[in-house]
Amino acid sequence: MNLNYFYKLSLAFVLHFGNLNAQTITCDNFKIKHFIADSININTMQMGIEFQANTNQMVGYPYIPVITDCMGDTIAKGQMFYFGQIGNTTQDYPVELIKSNYCEPLNVTFIYLNENRTDTCKFIFGNSAKYIRPSYQLFEVFPNPTTGEFTLEFKDNIRKHHVELFDFMGSKVFSSFFDGSMFNVKLPELPSGQYILRADGTAKILIID
Protein backbone atom coordinates (compact mmCIF):
# COMPACT_ATOMS: atom_id res chain seq x y z
CA MET A 1 0.00 0.00 0.00
CA ASN A 2 1.22 3.50 -0.81
CA LEU A 3 2.55 4.99 2.44
CA ASN A 4 1.40 8.49 1.57
CA TYR A 5 -2.10 7.19 0.97
CA PHE A 6 -2.01 5.26 4.26
CA TYR A 7 -0.92 8.42 6.10
CA LYS A 8 -3.76 10.47 4.59
CA LEU A 9 -6.25 7.71 5.37
CA SER A 10 -5.02 7.52 8.95
CA LEU A 11 -5.22 11.27 9.39
CA ALA A 12 -8.74 11.33 7.95
CA PHE A 13 -9.75 8.63 10.41
CA VAL A 14 -8.39 10.65 13.34
CA LEU A 15 -10.15 13.81 12.22
CA HIS A 16 -13.43 12.02 11.65
CA PHE A 17 -13.29 10.01 14.86
CA GLY A 18 -12.17 13.04 16.83
CA ASN A 19 -15.10 15.04 15.50
CA LEU A 20 -17.46 13.03 17.70
CA ASN A 21 -18.22 15.57 20.40
CA ALA A 22 -14.88 17.18 19.56
CA GLN A 23 -16.07 20.59 20.77
CA THR A 24 -16.28 19.22 24.31
CA ILE A 25 -12.59 18.26 24.36
CA THR A 26 -10.45 20.83 26.16
CA CYS A 27 -7.33 20.80 28.31
CA ASP A 28 -9.61 20.10 31.27
CA ASN A 29 -10.16 16.61 29.86
CA PHE A 30 -6.53 15.68 30.53
CA LYS A 31 -4.82 14.98 33.83
CA ILE A 32 -1.20 14.02 34.58
CA LYS A 33 -1.11 10.81 36.62
CA HIS A 34 2.62 10.16 37.11
CA PHE A 35 6.17 10.95 36.03
CA ILE A 36 8.34 7.86 36.34
CA ALA A 37 11.60 6.44 35.06
CA ASP A 38 11.52 4.18 32.01
CA SER A 39 12.29 0.53 32.77
CA ILE A 40 14.68 0.18 29.81
CA ASN A 41 16.31 3.52 29.01
CA ILE A 42 17.73 5.37 32.02
CA ASN A 43 17.67 8.64 30.04
CA THR A 44 13.94 8.38 29.35
CA MET A 45 11.03 9.29 31.62
CA GLN A 46 7.40 8.32 31.12
CA MET A 47 4.69 10.87 31.85
CA GLY A 48 1.27 9.26 32.23
CA ILE A 49 -1.65 11.36 30.98
CA GLU A 50 -5.27 10.39 31.57
CA PHE A 51 -7.81 11.39 28.91
CA GLN A 52 -11.08 11.89 30.77
CA ALA A 53 -13.64 11.51 28.00
CA ASN A 54 -16.00 8.97 26.46
CA THR A 55 -14.47 5.97 24.72
CA ASN A 56 -15.93 7.18 21.40
CA GLN A 57 -13.74 10.27 21.55
CA MET A 58 -10.16 10.49 20.34
CA VAL A 59 -7.40 13.04 19.90
CA GLY A 60 -4.75 12.65 17.22
CA TYR A 61 -0.97 12.64 17.40
CA PRO A 62 -0.64 13.74 21.05
CA TYR A 63 2.81 14.36 22.50
CA ILE A 64 4.82 16.34 25.07
CA PRO A 65 7.36 18.61 23.33
CA VAL A 66 8.94 20.10 26.44
CA ILE A 67 8.96 20.03 30.26
CA THR A 68 10.50 22.79 32.37
CA ASP A 69 11.11 22.85 36.11
CA CYS A 70 10.28 25.45 38.77
CA MET A 71 13.27 27.57 37.71
CA GLY A 72 12.17 27.58 34.05
CA ASP A 73 14.99 25.28 32.94
CA THR A 74 14.20 22.67 30.28
CA ILE A 75 14.58 19.22 31.85
CA ALA A 76 13.02 16.98 29.17
CA LYS A 77 11.93 16.97 25.54
CA GLY A 78 9.64 14.68 23.58
CA GLN A 79 8.31 14.10 20.09
CA MET A 80 5.36 12.47 18.36
CA PHE A 81 5.16 8.85 19.40
CA TYR A 82 1.52 7.75 19.23
CA PHE A 83 -1.19 7.73 16.56
CA GLY A 84 -3.73 8.99 19.08
CA GLN A 85 -5.33 8.55 22.48
CA ILE A 86 -8.84 7.29 23.09
CA GLY A 87 -11.06 8.63 25.85
CA ASN A 88 -11.13 6.95 29.26
CA THR A 89 -7.50 5.77 28.95
CA THR A 90 -4.17 6.63 30.53
CA GLN A 91 -1.19 6.69 28.19
CA ASP A 92 2.53 6.97 28.97
CA TYR A 93 4.36 9.59 26.91
CA PRO A 94 8.16 9.14 26.66
CA VAL A 95 10.41 12.16 27.06
CA GLU A 96 14.20 12.34 26.97
CA LEU A 97 15.61 13.58 30.25
CA ILE A 98 18.07 16.42 29.64
CA LYS A 99 18.60 17.41 33.26
CA SER A 100 18.28 14.85 36.07
CA ASN A 101 18.75 17.48 38.77
CA TYR A 102 15.55 19.56 38.87
CA CYS A 103 12.90 21.08 41.10
CA GLU A 104 9.13 20.80 41.16
CA PRO A 105 6.53 21.84 40.27
CA LEU A 106 7.06 20.92 36.63
CA ASN A 107 5.54 22.88 33.75
CA VAL A 108 4.36 20.46 31.07
CA THR A 109 3.40 21.37 27.50
CA PHE A 110 0.98 18.89 25.90
CA ILE A 111 -0.11 19.09 22.25
CA TYR A 112 -2.82 17.14 20.43
CA LEU A 113 -4.90 17.31 17.27
CA ASN A 114 -8.57 18.07 17.95
CA GLU A 115 -10.92 18.21 14.99
CA ASN A 116 -8.87 20.13 12.40
CA ARG A 117 -6.82 22.25 14.76
CA THR A 118 -3.89 21.77 17.10
CA ASP A 119 -4.56 22.43 20.78
CA THR A 120 -1.79 23.23 23.26
CA CYS A 121 -2.21 22.62 26.98
CA LYS A 122 -0.07 23.77 29.89
CA PHE A 123 -0.06 21.63 33.03
CA ILE A 124 1.63 21.98 36.41
CA PHE A 125 2.72 18.74 38.06
CA GLY A 126 4.45 17.98 41.34
CA ASN A 127 4.83 19.38 44.81
CA SER A 128 5.75 22.99 45.37
CA ALA A 129 9.45 23.55 46.08
CA LYS A 130 10.21 19.82 45.87
CA TYR A 131 13.81 19.20 44.82
CA ILE A 132 14.64 16.06 42.84
CA ARG A 133 18.21 14.86 43.17
CA PRO A 134 19.99 12.77 40.55
CA SER A 135 20.49 9.08 41.26
CA TYR A 136 24.16 9.44 42.19
CA GLN A 137 23.09 11.67 45.08
CA LEU A 138 20.25 9.37 46.17
CA PHE A 139 22.16 6.11 46.52
CA GLU A 140 25.52 4.43 45.99
CA VAL A 141 26.16 0.87 44.87
CA PHE A 142 29.42 -0.99 45.49
CA PRO A 143 31.21 -2.93 44.28
CA ASN A 144 30.26 -2.20 40.70
CA PRO A 145 31.12 -4.31 38.67
CA THR A 146 29.88 -7.11 40.92
CA THR A 147 29.73 -10.89 40.86
CA GLY A 148 26.09 -10.77 42.00
CA GLU A 149 26.32 -9.49 45.56
CA PHE A 150 26.63 -5.80 46.38
CA THR A 151 25.81 -3.10 48.93
CA LEU A 152 23.33 -0.25 48.51
CA GLU A 153 23.72 2.90 50.59
CA PHE A 154 20.93 5.49 50.56
CA LYS A 155 21.38 9.14 51.45
CA ASP A 156 17.82 10.01 52.43
CA ASN A 157 15.60 9.42 55.45
CA ILE A 158 13.29 6.89 53.79
CA ARG A 159 13.42 3.59 55.66
CA LYS A 160 11.85 1.25 53.09
CA HIS A 161 13.28 0.97 49.59
CA HIS A 162 12.07 -0.83 46.47
CA VAL A 163 14.95 -2.31 44.46
CA GLU A 164 14.51 -3.71 40.94
CA LEU A 165 16.89 -5.02 38.28
CA PHE A 166 16.18 -5.13 34.53
CA ASP A 167 18.16 -6.58 31.67
CA PHE A 168 18.66 -4.46 28.55
CA MET A 169 15.67 -6.12 26.87
CA GLY A 170 13.48 -4.61 29.57
CA SER A 171 12.74 -7.85 31.42
CA LYS A 172 12.63 -7.60 35.20
CA VAL A 173 15.03 -10.14 36.69
CA PHE A 174 14.93 -9.11 40.36
CA SER A 175 12.59 -7.18 42.67
CA SER A 176 12.55 -6.84 46.44
CA PHE A 177 11.95 -4.40 49.31
CA PHE A 178 14.62 -3.55 51.87
CA ASP A 179 14.62 -1.67 55.17
CA GLY A 180 17.31 0.73 56.32
CA SER A 181 19.78 3.13 54.74
CA MET A 182 22.43 0.48 53.94
CA PHE A 183 21.98 -3.18 53.12
CA ASN A 184 23.42 -6.05 51.10
CA VAL A 185 21.69 -7.39 48.00
CA LYS A 186 22.29 -10.90 46.72
CA LEU A 187 21.04 -11.50 43.21
CA PRO A 188 20.03 -14.82 41.69
CA GLU A 189 22.50 -16.29 39.22
CA LEU A 190 22.42 -14.08 36.13
CA PRO A 191 24.42 -13.91 32.88
CA SER A 192 27.31 -11.45 32.78
CA GLY A 193 26.55 -8.06 31.27
CA GLN A 194 25.02 -4.67 31.93
CA TYR A 195 21.76 -4.27 33.84
CA ILE A 196 19.58 -1.37 34.94
CA LEU A 197 19.35 -1.10 38.71
CA ARG A 198 16.33 0.89 39.85
CA ALA A 199 15.80 2.02 43.41
CA ASP A 200 12.87 4.23 44.43
CA GLY A 201 12.33 5.39 40.83
CA THR A 202 15.94 6.34 40.03
CA ALA A 203 18.34 4.18 38.05
CA LYS A 204 21.99 3.28 37.58
CA ILE A 205 23.90 0.84 35.41
CA LEU A 206 24.99 -2.30 37.25
CA ILE A 207 27.65 -4.51 35.67
CA ILE A 208 27.70 -8.20 36.50
CA ASP A 209 30.99 -10.00 35.84
Segment 14-65, tens digit of pLDDT:
444 444 444 578 999 999 998 888 877 777 889 999 999 999 899 999 999 9
Give the pLDDT band of residue 147 (cuts 50, 70, 90). Answer: very high
The string of pLDDT tens digits covering residues 175-208 is 998 888 889 999 999 999 988 888 876 777 889 9
The answer, yes or no, to whether residue 114 has pLDDT greater than 90, is no
Number of domains composing the chain? 2
Give the pLDDT band of residue 71 (cuts 50, 70, 90). Answer: confident
The answer, yes or no, to whether residue 8 has pLDDT greater than 80, is no
> What are the two backbone dihedrals, phi and then psi, of residue 116, each rounded to the nearest 5 degrees?
-120, 25
pTM of the model: 0.56
Do 28 and 101 belong to one domain?
A: yes
Do 155 and 178 belong to one domain?
A: yes
CB-count exposure of residue 203 (10 Å: 0-12, 13-18, 19+): buried
Half-sphere exposure of 155 toward its Cβ, with a 13 Å CA cutoff?
A: 11
- Domain of residue 117, residue span: 3-125
Do 119 and 83 belong to one domain?
A: yes
